[in-house]
Structure 1
């Protein structure tokens, strides 16, 4: 199996329609042992959703903007696994003000940057003590090379996220850790629902993507994440893999 014997940390499981949920499901089906994270008012939600996986995994508390949580992550993970072979970063947050580019405040922007970009480095550093044998860090992005409708400062945060991945790949490569991103097309997730006017993406994507696109199907993106978490990309790092039906390659 693709992930036989792997021990993975998966963040961002909030709904059974989410990419992160399907990554966890595929990982278990492919032989991996999975630990989930959540925090605050969503913790019980994640615990409930976790029961819909083939095997109910443990859920540990992790707010990636809380340094105390990060500092104790390796110790708390050690209660469930003796090492980590892979980490999925499926985390993003921006206040509503960040979805208005000209009026968003720096406080809005800094919150988005901390939770949605800097957190990749934070999570990688926190997991590092358990990744002594190397492994793979995979994050989820939404193609940041364009100025999208309504995405605004979250789009800027994703650009920072993509740059963070490249620097993380540089610094963790000598430790045998690969860092890659999957740029997925729009999926109807919790994060998407928080973006005002998100239907602007949904309405045009399927017609422009040469392979078509189903906003309700997170499985293609999840399969790409699972592949990158496996040993099948041993010399790939700092990369962004597009799973968007080919939308990114088409002109206007």
Structure 2
């Protein structure tokens, strides 16, 4: 088998529609030779239906990152599909959520409970997911890739999700530090705004899209998740063997622009 990910086994979270970055990462991973397992949360029948649009059939496992029992049993449930002694070579973390009162310009009034939910699901879950799968990653080493939205600045109406993304960026660095001796790399792909299921829940998404229309020197298509998915596949491959704690911007160049 040939391909950038030939022979690799990956777990991909966050596939909800075929417009998601995670879906296209799974699709490209399969075309590059990988065996893929998906996880889904809540709308499992929808995830299973969308999974049938991938080039090859994949198992779909339920995972709520706030459910410790599901995290504790995740490695065993993945092993049921991959087989004993097989392990994983990579993980895609595409999980984020903030309650509505944590978005939309309510920053000064958002209560801790909603903030805690945003941080737990969107940032801490990178650590909890990676540790849940450590028994499968550790024997061979591997690559963990998370999806980010640039947290260097304050975005209109993004509010506590922006704070959660800043926490995600810090979490990836500390994970990269503490797992390096096990040959596990942890990196993020910071993508520009895309019209996905997640985007529909973000008040002011159109404002963000307008910013990219006017400021991306390479241009940006909010309907094209493939550039970000390609970066994920590259980071999952063996072509970045000494890169960890990195944030790869796939945003048309907006992050580098001044006034």
Per the alignment, residue 227 of structure 1 pairs with: 234
Aligned to 1:74: 75
Matched residues in 1 for 2:41 and 2:258: separation? 41
Cα shift at 1:39 = 2.3
Q: Which residue of 2 aligns with 1:63?
A: 64
Q: What is the match of residue 203 of structure 1?
A: 210
Indicate the SS of the match to 1:83. Answer: coil
Counterpart residue number, 2:87: 83
SS in 2 for 1:167: helix
1:127 CA displacement: 0.7
Matches for 1:230-249 after TM superposition, within 5 Å: 230-249=237-256
Q: Deviations over 1:73-110 (max 9, x none)?
A: 01000011221000000000000011120111111100
Which residue matches 2:51? Answer: 50
Provide the secondary structure at the position in 2 that maps to 1:72.
Answer: helix
Aligned counterparts of 1:142 and 1:35: Cα–Cα separation in 2: 24
Shift of 1:206: 2.1
**Aligned counterpart in structure 1 of residue 96 of structure 2, from 86, 92, 96:** 92
The whole-number CA distance in structure 2 between the counterparts of 1:73 and 1:58 is: 13
CA distance in 1, matches of 2:205, 2:41: 25
Query: Following superposition of structure 1 onto structure 2, how do residues 152-163 of structure 1 map, counting pairs within 5 Å?
Result: 152-163=159-170
Backbone CA RMSD of aligned residues: 0.6
Match of 1:173 in 2: 180
Q: Which residue of 2 aligns with 1:29?
A: 31
In 1, Cα distance between the equivalents of 2:69 and 2:203? 32
Structure 1 SS opposite 2:56:
coil
Kindly state the Cα deviation for residue 65 of structure 1 after the two structures are TM-superposed: 1.0
What is the TM-score of this pair, normalised by structure 1?
0.99
- Which residue in 2 is equivalent to 1:17? 19
> 1:203, CA displacement in angstroms?
1.3
Q: Which residue of 1 aligns with 2:198?
A: 191
Q: Note the residue ranges of structure 2 that are not aligned, 5 or more in a row.
A: none
Alpha-carbon distance in structure 2 between the residues aligned to 1:74 and 1:20: 20
Equivalence for 1:112: 118
Q: TM (normalized to structure 2)?
A: 0.96
Q: Which runs of 5+ in 1 are unaligned?
A: none
User: In 1, distance between residues paired with 2:112 and 2:143?
Assistant: 33
Pairwise CA distance, 1:187: 0.5
* C-alpha distance in structure 2 between counterparts of 1:188 and 1:127, whole Å: 30
Query: 2:203 & 2:110 partners in 1: Cα distance?
Result: 14
Residues in 2 aligned to 1:206 and 1:179: alpha-carbon distance in whole angstroms:
30
Rounded to whole Å, the distance in 1 between the matches of 2:9 and 2:76 is 15
Between Structure 1 and Structure 2, how many residues are aligned?
A: 251
- What is the deviation of 1:19? 0.2
SS at match of 1:178: strand
Matching of residue 123 in structure 1 with residue 125 in structure 2: no
